[in-house]
């Protein structure tokens, strides 16, 4: 049973460029959350997708956008890259279970983005 997979694992971009990161959730999971983790910091919540819609959003600008596909996979897009966008981008999947939340997010290994 494959866990959460992310691609690419590493990438380098220059300021002003755009990037797309991809995530396939764990089998049986329908909810995907994206996090940004800067060096020495905890993961910062970007947004969450469920049923192909953005359900929750953290304090990130509109340059950060996403998409969820019918097979539950997801993409994170970042436009007009800034130096400060350099970070590890983590995708986490979970299974929606109504009001009861088990708290177990399964994370991928992340995509490490460097902006020069």
Is 55 one of the binding residues for another protein (CB under 8 A)? yes
Q: Nearest CA to 33 among 20, 23, 18, 42?
A: 23
Q: How far apart are the first and last CA of the chain?
A: 37
Q: Which is nearer to another protein, 19 or 91 (CB)?
A: 91
Is 107 one of the binding residues for another protein (CB under 8 A)? yes
Is 60 one of the binding residues for another protein (CB under 8 A)? no
Among 108, 111, 113, 115, binds another protein (CB under 8 A): 108
For residue 41, what are its two tokens?
């910091």
Give the position of tokens 């177990």. 104
Find out whether 64 and 76 touch, Cβ atoms under 8 Å: yes
Is 35 one of the binding residues for another protein (CB under 8 A)? yes
Distance of closest approach, residue 114 Cβ to another protein, in angstroms: 15
Is 68 one of the binding residues for another protein (CB under 8 A)? no
Give the position of tokens 């097979």. 71
Q: Give every CB contact of residue 40 below 8 A, 6+ residues apart in sequence.
A: none
Chain residues in the site for another protein (CB under 8 A): 33, 35, 40-45, 48, 50, 55-56, 58, 90, 96, 101-105, 107-110
């Amino acid at each position: 049973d494959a866990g959460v997979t992310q691609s690419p694992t590493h990438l380098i971009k220059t300021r002003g460029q755009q990037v797309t990161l991809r995530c396939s959730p764990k089998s049986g999971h329908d909810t995907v959350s994206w996090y940004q983790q800067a060096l020495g910091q905890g993961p910062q919540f970007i947004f969450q997708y469920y049923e192909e819609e953005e359900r929750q959003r953290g304090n990130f600008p509109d340059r950060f956008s996403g998409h969820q596909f019918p097979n539950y996979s997801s993409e994170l897009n970042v436009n007009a890259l800034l130096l400060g966008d350099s970070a590890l981008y983590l995708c986490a999947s979970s299974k929606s279970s109504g009001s009861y939340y088990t708290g177990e997010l399964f994370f991928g290994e992340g995509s490490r983005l460097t902006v020069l």
